[in-house]
């Protein structure tokens, strides 16, 4: 908070001098700037259809906007007088017209593109990989060059061309973001800038259409319009989220023109997946869309199979020009064989991966299963009071239920010779998330300052339930022991095949609540200088658990008392734009981490505050055909929670639940992104990231992390590159070729070491870097398309390691193809 106050004072003191410096020579700076005007209009295609996501701007001043789904746009804060207005779309030649703006008035400027809706859609499908428009996850419709934060967007073009099925495959296209873990083969964990995010819950950092989403069972990426990544601290907008990144999945929306597609995707290991997508108008004001998929596949892993059904219906109703309501729902049924991978040999002394075992070796029971049923519904009401003010209200609920049965994870249970004593473990959980958001966006002037204001509030209630069990075999014997196998030589022991019975013993209900309110303002001081400042207040309450003892038929409260956390999350940034197409920024922000345990006086531990310092440069060149971004950052958690050295009486502390905020972690790094499309038939994107996340101050306290040790699950280097080209020459027209390469550098799996740990062995698993190469080829003719991909061409072998038990090999060389009909 102190840093934000200092920034505010400095900017306030600097404003008069800056305004004077920006005034033309010989001019007198007035305390009240001349009233500005507004340009608004609608962009249509040659056949009268609205042109969405087209860039509209004034090259001389750098002001601009992007068209909405209905083709409308508006540019506020325009100086009176004649201006050249330019319309551009990635892969197309820009168009211009001159408009006259009057002070305090709105000027109408409509455009008609030379392309039809079908041709524009073809540009999107065959060309543009990244349309540089505001990410919805930023909530404030701030233009990319004005946003002092690094953002990555994986567009529907990339999702389609790479035939992406999983969220992890999509995020490989964003620099610095890596899939580092697979939790039992049924969920994914991602990392960026020294932080990790997983399935979801109270601290969830994965969103769908702006609402917290539980991603157990894998979200279906083939049904998404795009995937947005906000790197760095997003606590100002979202509260208790990861400091490294948040992910927002944007689903496909209804449209007021008829269309759709039917596809069949098939590939190696018996994979097949039909996909249907149909949209259109039901009435003049009501449109619909239905997206559905079914997936059935075996695996490169023995025994493993998966069956998935997903359907996503949605309706869009327009009450008028200013108000619309979007209602969406989806349902996922996922039946996946739980797979903790190949296991770790001899974890207690000299842990190593079992290199002598094949990639396909499966060590769970053959009958193991994991079934996820997930349903969600949401409603978004948008209302525009005027060209400058709009309100968005969002409400949603998601219900996730998981039940499964199989072997307990092989954590510290595999001997040096490969012997593994399997025990039973079942899961029966449910989580219901209730979301609500309210965002008010406004644009207005105060004197010579122009404001782009965001005021909002959000609330989240999560109720999760878990069940404990006991197990009974056919003879009536109760216990969790099952059998012994050898993961190297499976013929060494006779393995059991029977499925024991499951008896519920207790059910624990854990409710939690989150509430936050925030304000953010982007202030234009002059055409070259802007300031962004904002702050959020967050309140979180974790209620005492309720435990229903099913054996004895009674209910009792949990041991832990209610826990309340409060935090302020400020953000401030200075933006300098020497040219309309170039932007430099420096920013400060923080996020908070909720801690478990108590201080030495047995009071709940306060949240840890993580300071983030970031500087970056962005440029948009060649009529929006090339976009580049480079960022350097430092994160420092100066009050990292670690085990207290002494208790409240000054005696050595042996209780691992008693902690103090005296440790420190630091994460330094660089992100670079470059994407472009110089023609309708060519696009590329390239990214590179470096990260150095480590413990920088642990005070040598017994039980604290080791000083200087890198944090697990954070690759030092990552890189990505993709290039797709579609031939337009006679004889080759419709032929598409593409290549994608992804590099994940050296990283540490397992668990970080602690001072004086017992037993005294290295808990880290060193993982080498690896590169995968994918090659694609396809052909389209009329309404039909065919696309094929060979992934991991060189058949690289590496592992995704979750803690010390889920050791999953990456997929080998595979073939995948999609045949589609588009109407």
Q: 227, 251, 275: which is the final residue of a domain?
A: 251
Q: Is the domain of 596 the same as that of 669?
A: yes
* Residue 33 in this model has a pLDDT that exceeds 50: no
Q: Find out whether 460 and 513 touch, Cβ atoms under 8 Å.
A: yes
Q: pLDDT tens digits, residue range 330-386? A: 999 999 999 988 887 766 656 667 666 788 989 999 999 999 999 999 999 999 998
Q: Is the domain of 305 the same as that of 374?
A: yes
pLDDT score, position 16? 38
Q: Measure the CA–CA gap between 60 and 56, rounded to whole angstroms.
A: 13
Q: Is the domain of 587 the same as that of 639?
A: yes
Whether 16 is in a domain gets the answer no
Q: Which residue has the higher pLDDT, 793 or 98?
A: 793
Average pLDDT (419-442) is: 94
Beta strands in 602-758 (DSSP E): 608-621, 626-643, 659-679, 682-697, 717-726, 735-744, 747-750
CA of residue 816 relative to chain centroid, distance: 25
Q: 233, 251, 269: which is the final residue of a domain?
A: 251
pLDDT band at 496 (very low <50, low <70, confident <90, very high): very high
Q: Measure the CA–CA gap between 302 and 682, rounded to whole angstroms.
A: 40
pLDDT score, position 219? 83
Within 13 Å of residue 132, how many CA atoms lie on the same side as its CB? 33
Q: Is the domain of 175 the same as that of 267?
A: no
Q: Is the domain of 314 the same as that of 198?
A: no
Q: Measure the CA–CA gap between 611 and 494, rounded to whole angstroms.
A: 56
Q: Measure the CA–CA gap between 137 and 248, rounded to whole angstroms.
A: 6
Q: Which residue has the tokens 């399997």?
A: 422
DSSP letters, 271-328, are EEEEEEEEEEESSSSEEEEEEEEEEEE--SSTT--EEEEEEEEEEEEESSSSEEEEEE
> Among the ranges 219-228, 510-519, 589-598, 800-809, which has the highest mean pLDDT value?
510-519
> Among the ranges 176-190, 407-421, 435-449, 553-567, which has the highest mean pLDDT value?
435-449
Nearest to 289 by CA among 325, 316, 319: 316
Q: Which residue has the tokens 């995020």?
A: 171
Whether 12 is in a domain gets the answer no
> Among the ranges 107-116, 458-467, 692-701, which has the highest mean pLDDT value?
458-467
First-to-last C-alpha distance (Å) of the chain: 54
Q: Measure the CA–CA gap between 179 and 274, rounded to whole angstroms.
A: 26
Rg (CA), the chain: 28
Q: Is the domain of 103 the same as that of 210?
A: no
Whether 15 is in a domain gets the answer no
The pair of three-digit structure tokens given for residue 118, joined into one six-digit string: 């079908």
Q: Measure the CA–CA gap between 99 and 60, rounded to whole angstroms.
A: 13
The pair of three-digit structure tokens given for residue 51, joined into one six-digit string: 């042109």
Q: Measure the CA–CA gap between 668 and 611, rounded to whole angstroms.
A: 12
Q: Measure the CA–CA gap between 648 and 221, rounded to whole angstroms.
A: 52
Q: Measure the CA–CA gap between 728 and 778, rounded to whole angstroms.
A: 13
Please report, for the domain that includes residue 90, its CATH number.
2.60.40.1120
Average pLDDT (793-808) is: 85
Nearest to 393 by CA among 352, 436, 353, 331: 436
Torsion angles phi and psi, residue 70, rounded to 5: -90, 10
3-state secondary structure of 477: coil
* Residue 73 in this model has a pLDDT that exceeds 50: yes
Whether a cis peptide bond, with omega within 30° of 0, leads into 511 is: no
Q: Is the domain of 270 the same as that of 246?
A: no
The pair of three-digit structure tokens given for residue 323, joined into one six-digit string: 């108000």
Q: Is the domain of 200 the same as that of 322?
A: no
3-state secondary structure of 171: helix
For the chain, give the mean pLDDT: 86
Q: Which residue has the tokens 């045949």?
A: 819
Q: Which residue has the higher pLDDT, 764 or 24?
A: 764
pLDDT score, position 308? 95
Element (H, E) at 637: strand 626-643
pLDDT score, position 5? 40
pLDDT band at 23 (very low <50, low <70, confident <90, very high): very low
Within 13 Å of residue 823, how many CA atoms lie on the same side as its CB? 10
Q: Is the domain of 99 the same as that of 159?
A: no
* Residue 10 in this model has a pLDDT that exceeds 50: no
Average pLDDT (144-163) is: 91
Residues contacting 758, CB < 8 A, separation 6+: none
**Count of domains for the chain:** 3
Q: Find out whether 150 and 629 touch, Cβ atoms under 8 Å.
A: yes
Whether 620 is in a domain gets the answer yes
> Among the ranges 112-126, 140-154, 263-277, which has the highest mean pLDDT value?
263-277
Q: Is the domain of 294 the same as that of 433?
A: yes
pLDDT score, position 202? 47
pLDDT band at 203 (very low <50, low <70, confident <90, very high): low
Q: 251, 270, 294: which is the final residue of a domain?
A: 251
Q: pLDDT tens digits, residue range 280-336? A: 999 999 999 999 999 999 999 999 999 999 999 999 999 988 999 999 999 999 999
CA of residue 96 relative to chain centroid, distance: 36
Classify residue 804 as left (phi > 0), alpha (psi -120 to 50) or beta: alpha
pLDDT score, position 643? 86
Please report, for the domain that includes residue 194, its CATH number.
2.170.130.10
Q: Is the domain of 226 the same as that of 324?
A: no
Q: Find out whether 418 and 486 touch, Cβ atoms under 8 Å.
A: yes
Q: Find out whether 107 and 37 touch, Cβ atoms under 8 Å.
A: yes
Domain housing 63: 45-118
Q: Is the domain of 417 the same as that of 376?
A: yes
Whether 39 is in a domain gets the answer no
3-state secondary structure of 121: helix
Whether 13 is in a domain gets the answer no
Q: pLDDT tens digits, residue range 741-797? A: 999 999 988 888 888 776 666 778 888 999 999 999 999 999 999 999 999 999 999
- By residue count, the chain amounts to 823
* Residue 554 in this model has a pLDDT that exceeds 80: no
Reported pTM = 0.86
Average pLDDT (620-635) is: 87
Q: pLDDT tens digits, residue range 656-679? A: 888 888 889 999 999 999 998 877
3-state secondary structure of 454: strand
Whether 18 is in a domain gets the answer no
Q: Which residue has the higher pLDDT, 245 or 51?
A: 245
DSSP letters, 506-565, are EEEEEEEEEEEEEEEEEEESSSSEEEEEEEEEEEEEEPPPEEEETTTTEEEE-SSPPEEE
* CA distance readout (Å), 345 to 249, 422, 773: 38, 14, 30
Average pLDDT (60-78) is: 74
b (16+ CB within 10 A) / e for 496-535: beebbebeeebbebbbbbbbbebbbbbbbbbebbbbbbbb
Please report, for the domain that includes residue 644, its CATH number.
2.40.170.20
Whether 739 is in a domain gets the answer yes
């Amino acid at each position: 908070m102190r840093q934000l106050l200092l920034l505010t004072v400095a900017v306030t003191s600097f404003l008069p001098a800056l305004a004077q410096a920006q005034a033309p020579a010989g001019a007198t700076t007035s305390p009240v700037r001349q009233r500005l005007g507004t340009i608004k209009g609608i962009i249509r295609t040659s056949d009268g259809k609205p042109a969405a996501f087209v860039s509209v701007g004034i090259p001389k001043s750098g002001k601009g906007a992007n068209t909405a789904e209905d083709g409308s746009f508006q540019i506020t804060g325009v100086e009176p007088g004649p201006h050249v207005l330019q319309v551009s779309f990635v892969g197309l030649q820009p168009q211009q017209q001159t408009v006259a703006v009057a002070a305090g008035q709105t000027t109408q400027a409509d455009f008609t593109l030379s392309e039809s809706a079908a041709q524009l859609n073809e540009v999107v499908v065959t060309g543009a990989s990244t349309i540089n428009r505001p990410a919805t996850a930023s909530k404030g419709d701030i233009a990319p060059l004005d946003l002092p934060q690094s953002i990555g967007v994986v567009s529907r073009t990339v999702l389609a061309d790479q035939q992406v099925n999983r969220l992890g495959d999509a995020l490989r296209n964003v620099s610095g973001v890596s899939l580092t873990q697979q939790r039992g083969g049924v969920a994914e964990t991602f990392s960026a800038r020294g932080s990790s995010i997983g399935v979801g819950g109270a601290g969830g950092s994965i969103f769908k259409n702006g609402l917290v989403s539980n991603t157990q069972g894998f979200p279906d990426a083939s049904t998404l319009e795009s995937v947005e990544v906000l790197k760095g601290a997003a606590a100002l907008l979202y509260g208790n989220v990861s400091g490294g990144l948040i992910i927002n999945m944007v689903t496909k929306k209804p449209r007021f023109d008829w269309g759709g597609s039917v596809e069949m995707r098939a590939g190696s290991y018996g994979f097949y997946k039909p996909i249907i997508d149909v949209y259109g108008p039901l009435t003049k004001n009501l449109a619909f869309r239905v997206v559905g998929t079914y997936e059935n596949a075996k695996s490169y892993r023995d025994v493993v199979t998966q069956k998935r059904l997903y359907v996503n219906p949605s309706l869009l109703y327009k009450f008028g020009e200013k108000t619309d309501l979007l209602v969406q729902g989806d349902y996922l049924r996922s039946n996946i064989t739980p797979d903790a991978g190949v296991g770790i040999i001899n974890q207690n002394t000299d842990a190593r991966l079992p290199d002598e075992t094949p990639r396909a070796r499966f060590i769970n029971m053959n009958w193991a299963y994991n079934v996820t049923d997930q349903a969600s519904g949401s409603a978004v009401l948008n209302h525009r009071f005027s060209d400058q003010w709009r309100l968005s209200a969002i409400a949603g609920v998601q219900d996730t239920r998981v039940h499964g049965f199989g072997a307990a994870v092989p954590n510290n249970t595999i001997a040096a010779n490969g012997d593994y004593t399997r025990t039973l473990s079942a899961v029966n959980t449910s989580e219901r998330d209730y979301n609500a958001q309210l965002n008010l966006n406004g644009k207005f002037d105060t004197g010579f300052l122009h404001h782009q204001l965001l005021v909002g509030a959000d609330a989240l209630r999560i109720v999760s339930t878990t069940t404990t069990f006991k197990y009974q075999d056919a003879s009536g014997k109760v216990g969790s022991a099952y059998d012994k196998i050898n993961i190297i030589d499976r013929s060494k022991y006779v393995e059991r095949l029977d499925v024991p019975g499951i008896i519920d013993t207790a059910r624990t209900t854990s409710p939690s609540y989150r509430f936050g309110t925030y304000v953010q303002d982007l202030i234009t001081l002059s055409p070259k200088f802007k300031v962004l400042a904002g702050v959020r207040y967050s309140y979180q309450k974790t209620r005492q658990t309720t435990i229903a003892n099913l054996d004895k038929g009674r209910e009792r409260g949990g041991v832990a008392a209610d826990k309340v956390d409060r935090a302020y999350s400020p953000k401030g940034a200075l933006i300098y734009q020497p040219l309309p197409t170039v932007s430099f920024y420096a920013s400060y922000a923080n996020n908070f981490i909720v801690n478990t345990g108590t201080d030495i006086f047995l009071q709940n531990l306060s949240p840890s505050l993580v300071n983030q310092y970031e500087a970056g440069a962005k440029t948009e060149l060649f009529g929006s055909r090339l976009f580049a971004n480079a960022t350097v950052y430092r994160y420092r958690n100066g009050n990292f929670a670690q085990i207290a050295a002494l208790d409240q009486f000054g005696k050595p502390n042996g209780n691992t639940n008693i902690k103090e905020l005296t440790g420190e972690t630091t994460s330094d790094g660089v992100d670079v992104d470059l994407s472009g499309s110089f023609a309708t038939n060519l696009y590329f994107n390239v990214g590179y990231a470096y990260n150095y996340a480590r413990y920088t101050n642990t005070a040598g306290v017994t039980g604290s992390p080791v000083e200087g040790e890198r944090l697990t699950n954070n690759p030092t280097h990552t890189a990505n590159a993709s290039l797709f080209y579609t031939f337009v020459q006679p004889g080759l027209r419709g032929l598409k070729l593409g290549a994608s390469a992804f590099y994940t550098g050296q990283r540490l799996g397992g668990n970080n070491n602690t001072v004086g740990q017992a037993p005294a062995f290295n808990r880290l698993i060193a993982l080498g870097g690896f590169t995968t190469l994918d090659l694609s080829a396809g052909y389209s003719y009329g309404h039909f398309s065919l696309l094929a991909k060979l992934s991991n061409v060189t058949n690289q072998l590496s592992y995704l390691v979750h803690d010390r038990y889920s050791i999953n090999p990456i997929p080998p060389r595979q073939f995948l193809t999609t045949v589609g009909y588009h109407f």
